[in-house]
Amino acid sequence: MAMMAQPSWAITQVKKPLSLKVWVDDGRPVVNITRGGANVSVRLMVASQGFLDITSILVRNGGRIVHVLDFNNVRLVFSGLGVGLYAISLAITGYGTFSATVQPRGGSPMVPPRTLSGRFKPFPRISPQDAAYLQMMIQRRFVPYQKAPGGGGIPYARIRALGQQLFPWTPYSYILAMATYDWTTASFARMVFMQVFQYTSIPPRPFPLDRPSISKMIFQSKWGDYNPGNPTYMRSFMMRPAKSESQVAQQLAHVARELQRFSAVQNRLLVAAAHALPRTCILAKPYLFSGQVDIYQMGMSRFGICFFQFPGNRGPVGTALEIQFAAASATFLRPGRLITTKMVWSFTDTEADALHYANGILLVVRAAGSSGAKSFVWDMPAYVTKLSNEASKTEYIFPAGSTFRILANRPGNGVQVIELEIVPRSVPWPRDEFEADEADALGKVPVSESEAAAFSSLAEAAFTPGDASLIDDTVDPPVEPIDFEVDEDSLSRDDAALAFDDAVAAFAALPLPAEAVPDWQEDDASTGEQDELLAGDTFRTLSLLGDETTHHSSDIPKNELLDLSRLTVIPELDQVPRGVPPAIDHVAEDCTGGRWCRCVQSHMEDGTI
């Protein structure tokens, strides 16, 4: 009986210009290392060129075992019986293209080598001003969140090392790693509030803010250490402890613009990091799940404001950004509609895990559909667990600006289930998006000590005067927050701070594909095209045929290759195991990361927090 081998591979040779460096996302040497396996994607990074995702696929069709090696959507298909290893010789031109020659080792009969060529995926653009701004926030201990779960989190040196492993192609590797890590801490609340509570349909930028709602959300967090009386929690919003919502509102009036800028910069860096992190094979993780709303005090009535299609984005300013879930579901959240997120979304890979964090809503997302889907990897979400402050928590992030088609919005078992499908971007993403207009004057980002001293008198009061360049950011921050007192006079907004108002960059509504023009003005109309789109539901196959002619071994007839391209390789949702909820008590282990979950609910009910 023939042996059924996994589709493992090794790069045996790299031909390239001497000036080009090559890295692999696992941090190991490039050549003579066995990698791959069934439905595994590995990311190569080539300096000044871009990314090459090598994805190995195993497909079973009755007695036939087929191996697929995918190089940025250009594929080689082989009979997998008896093959022990695929040897890859890689040639890099230095002009954005590559070629790969693959020689199967083992198997019978002997299969000749096959060659393909393709293009690298581009690196994301990173603003040096954004990187300098976040570096300043790290030096001033606003990033990361100052009381890491368990008093620990990831040490700074480890974050730096992970940055060098995952983002070696950029001098801003540490910045991208820190932006990602900080998202997994309680800082995520700041990054969410300052994005979703913007009137994004009222130009010009920076968009007006719904400040009363932001103040309410900050003040209404009242569990564990995440409450308005806690200095660490309030410091994450550049504020001091408050005893009333009005005290929060008073402080917000003076730091709102800087918080808005802070969030915009950090979100742009997070978009770049998500684009650059290794990809996950769709066949390994066919669905991703998210429990919403992930900030419990927002409630279901504020879920709808998280999208650019929310009609309330038109204002008027002063109108609370809120919409009842039923009303949203009947209009812009109904099946067939497209939605684009204002904020980052966190997902996991099992339903049970997501339900542990759910506050009334369960999101289920599948990859870009149709029977001819070209990509074997999730092109938009990124796996961030390596950079998480909770190593046991599986987490994927969809960057702000992700677009989805709503497939279903239905009642589930105690939650409302919204099934989504990714909509591919109509322009290169995110390289040419999230770029502020020249009029936004991003060049005015405060990067020097004198400029930094002016950007917020309230925030600056938290620090001892001195040269920020002397701060060693490789040393872990103190576990306890830095106490600071602010005189009432310092709450008045100074002229120097006002000078930076015009430079605050907020996210704008993103360009959508032609069919995705916001349609909230036509909420009473339902097109037959939308209904037909859902009725077909042909999203369960992935074509083995790539962007170009697929090369295949001579023992697979062409007609059989075409048959394989129509295999149903993605299970239906009801066939996917539900998984099990987390086994640990996040409160007892002090590792909630500021995220509400069933553990928090249980401890609130028994009065232990």
What pLDDT was estimated at residue 460? 32
Look at residue 543 in the predicted model and tell me its pLDDT.
56
Query: Is residue 42 very low, low, confident or very high in pLDDT (cuts 50, 70, 90)?
Result: very high
DSSP 490: G
How would residue 9 be classed by pLDDT, with cut points 50, 70 and 90? very high
Greater confidence, 602 or 77? 77
CA distance 558 to 68: 15
- Read off the pLDDT band of 551 (50, 70, 90): low
Q: Please, which pLDDT band fits residue 109 given cuts at 50, 70 and 90?
A: low
Structure tokens at 91: 């040639």
Residues 6+ apart with CB under 8 A from 8: 34, 35, 36, 37, 56, 84, 85, 86
Pairing of strands 8-15, 83-92: parallel
pTM: predicted TM-score of the whole model, two decimal places:
0.80
Distance from C-alpha of 600 to C-alpha of 193, rounded to nearest angstrom: 21
Averaged pLDDT for residues 30-46: 97
- Give the C-alpha distances (Å, rounded to integers) separating 469 from 22, 161, 170, 360, 472: 32, 21, 21, 47, 8
Provide the pLDDT for residue 457. 33
Q: Which pLDDT score is estimated for 158?
A: 95
Query: Residue 385 has what DSSP assignment?
Result: G
Residue 556: pLDDT band with limits 50, 70, 90:
low
Q: What is the 3-state secondary structure of 335-366? A: CCCEEEECCCEEEECCHHHHHCCCCCEEEEEE
Comparison of pLDDT for 570 and 298, the residue scoring more: 298
End-to-end CA distance of the chain, in Å?
61
pLDDT of residue 391: 80
Site of tokens 């390596």? 386
Question: Regarding predicted confidence, which is higher, 481 or 220?
Answer: 220
Q: Which residues lie closer than 8 Å to 343 by C-beta, 6 or more apart?
A: 191, 192, 195, 196, 267, 306, 400
Of 40-44, 136-140, 573-577, least confident by mean pLDDT is 573-577
Residue carrying structure tokens 């809120």: 322
pLDDT at 597: 65
Q: Residue 171 corresponds to which tokens in the numbers above?
A: 């001098």
Domains of the chain: 8-121+550-565 (2.60.200), 128-437+507-523+579-605 (3.90.176.10)
Residue 475 in this model has a pLDDT that exceeds 80: no
- Report the percentage of the chain scoring pLDDT > 70: 70
Residue 79's DSSP bridge partners are: 66
- Structure confidence by residue, pLDDT tens digits, 428-465: 333 333 333 322 323 333 334 443 333 333 333 332 32
Q: What is the mean pLDDT of the chain?
A: 78
What is the SS3 assignment for 511?
Answer: coil
Question: What pLDDT score was predicted for residue 77?
Answer: 87
What's the pLDDT tens digit per position in 311-361? Answer: 999 999 999 999 999 999 999 999 999 999 999 999 999 998 999 888 899
| Lookup result for tokens 């210009």 | 17
Residue type for position 121:
K
Residue 220 has pLDDT above 90, yes or no: yes
pLDDT of residue 490: 35
H-only helix segments in 207-314: 211-219, 231-235, 245-276
**Alpha helices (H) along 432-538:** 449-454, 457-460, 495-498, 528-536
User: Which 3-state string (H, E, C) describes 147-199?
Assistant: CCHHHCCCCHHHHHHHHHHHCCCCCCHHHHHHHHHHHCCCCHHHHHHHHHCEC
Q: Which two tokens stand for residue 282?
A: 């769709």
Out of 29-33, 105-109, 172-176, 546-550, which region has the weakest mean confidence (pLDDT)? 546-550
Q: For residue 334, which amino acid is it?
A: R
Q: What is the model's pLDDT at position 84?
A: 74
Q: What is the mean pLDDT of residues 115-131?
A: 96
Q: Mean per-residue pLDDT for 106-118? A: 80
Pairing relationship of beta strands 361-366 and 416-422 according to DSSP bridges? parallel
Q: In this predicted model, what pLDDT tens digit does every residue of 124-175 receive, in sequence order?
A: 999 999 999 999 999 999 999 987 544 557 899 999 999 999 999 999 999 9
CA 383 to centroid of chain Cα atoms: 8
Asked if the model's pLDDT at residue 255 lies above 70, the reply is: yes
DSSP three-state, residue 439: helix
Q: Which of 264, 273, 559, 212 is nearest to 434 (CA)?
A: 264
Nearest to 276 by CA among 186, 355, 363, 173: 173
Cα 188 to Cα 176, 180, 267, 496: the distances in Å are 15, 10, 10, 28
Residue 558, judged by CB atoms within 10 A of its CB (0-12, 13-18, 19+), counts as exposed
